[in-house]
Amino acid sequence: MVFNSVVFALFLAVILVVYWRTPARRRNIILLAGSYVFYGWWDYRFLSLLAISTVVDFYVGKRIYGTVEESRRKRWLLLSVAVNLGILAIFKYSGFFVDSLSALTSSIGFGELSPALRVVLPVGISFYTFQTMSYSFDIFRHRIDPTRSLIDFGTYVAYFPQLVAGPIERASRLLPQIETYERPKPRGDRLVAGIGLIAVGFFKKVVLADGVAGVANAVFAEPAGFSGISTLVGVLAFAIQIYGDFAGYTDIARGVSKLLGIDLVLNFSEPYLARNITEFWRRWHISLSDWLRDYLYIPLGGNRGSTLATYRNLMVTMLLGGLWHGASWNFVLWGGLHGAYLVVHKLTRRGAVDSGPLRWTHAPSIIVTFLFVNVAWVFFRADTFSGAWQVLRNIFTMADGATSLSDLVLVAVLGVATLVVDLGNRVGADAVSLMRRSPALAGAAAAIVIAAVIVFSGGTPEPFIYFQF
């Protein structure tokens, strides 16, 4: 079940009516049941994986909390890690490992391996396994106490608005909201904010992301047939697509959550206005960046050791972060590029991050950061190394080939729209207040969003990119 579908609209309407008509202490049962219906709509068989992660970490958390001996506490934590990473290894990375080994054996003359079984990738598996593992880690570190209710914990793990594409919520933040049965009802500012986030999310997805998807898909499918300019336009189109797609999903998830009386963490904060690569990772997919920092980078040693050790820890973190995104060497290289960017930034600026309001004088650093991010996006989007190199070769040699003026205009228009939406985040609270005082303005804004969605939604809806992760 996807957000941009009639089925989800009907599902959400039923959930909201039943949820708010149910006594407060039983609402988590509705949320849990609804979340399992939402996830099982795609393939009910993978509900078992969700249930395994839930049950294992619920009981592991209790054992860690109730155990005094440090070695036994570590063994319980290792059980959580082994189960969750084991699920990931089997269902997400088994094919990748076999294919990589097959390529290696073939290159040294032993022939290719033929896997006996290809495993289907469950939607959102990377998100909920990271979320459940963080619960065990936080109990181990004495940051939280385990929840007493399996229903509450199951709701935390399977909570449908953010289940398949995040944000990755910490138990310390989301679980207390789930355990608090008396939640704020969607009235006044909360209702306006919820509906507003959903509308903006659909605008980002349907207008921005889906609007340029055809341009990006065509260029990356057959880059050899495009000119350098058209290839560059295709790369910029993908930058808009992935931002609109992922940030749009997050906005819809946050908006739906507000209607349920729950607040989700902010996952994007004007990432393409970052003034350096360190700041970019504090603005892009914030919940993953924070997770990698707290549960991987810092345990590896962070910046507590030598300078060389710090750079090693950065590279390992970003390489594994790239692998988290997908079972492909392209994703590993994408993570490695960002790791190298971060190392260079620390070398040249000692890790300094600009703070304070944006000014026109920041434009050069914003543009340079955006260009480097786009070079890395090429490897994220391309299906193969050869395809990625062809895209980069087209751009840097200004290759001859077909050039589409209409695509250039479309990307330019939606690129400006992306910046407008980003800058609009700065005045979001004021805009909500103004719209409440002026129904005419609220109606005009809603009409513009609806018109844009209708105009751009004529084709086949594009699936959310991050569903594959």
> 226 has which bridge partners?
402
d(CA 34, CA 396) in angstroms, rounded, equals 50
Please give the full DSSP string across 350-419, using - where no structure is assigned.
Answer: TT----SS--GGGHHHHHHHHHHHHHHHHHHH-SSHHHHHHHHHHHHHT--SB--HHHHHHHHHHHHHHH
Catalytic site residue from 325, 338, 345, 362: 325
- 325 counts as catalytic: yes
From residue 408, give the alpha-carbon distance in Å to each of 229, 293, 389.
9, 38, 22
d(CA 460, CA 245) in angstroms, rounded, equals 15
d(CA 423, CA 410) in angstroms, rounded, equals 20
Angle between the N-to-C axes of helices 405-424 and 228-259, in degrees from 0 to 180, rounded to the nearest 10: 30
Please give the full DSSP string across 189-207, using - where no structure is assigned.
Answer: HHHHHHHHHHHHHHIIIII
Tokens of residue 420, six digits: 């407008």
* End-to-end Cα separation, the chain, in angstroms: 16
On the CB side of 273, CA atoms within 13 Å amount to 20
As annotated, the active-site residues are 325
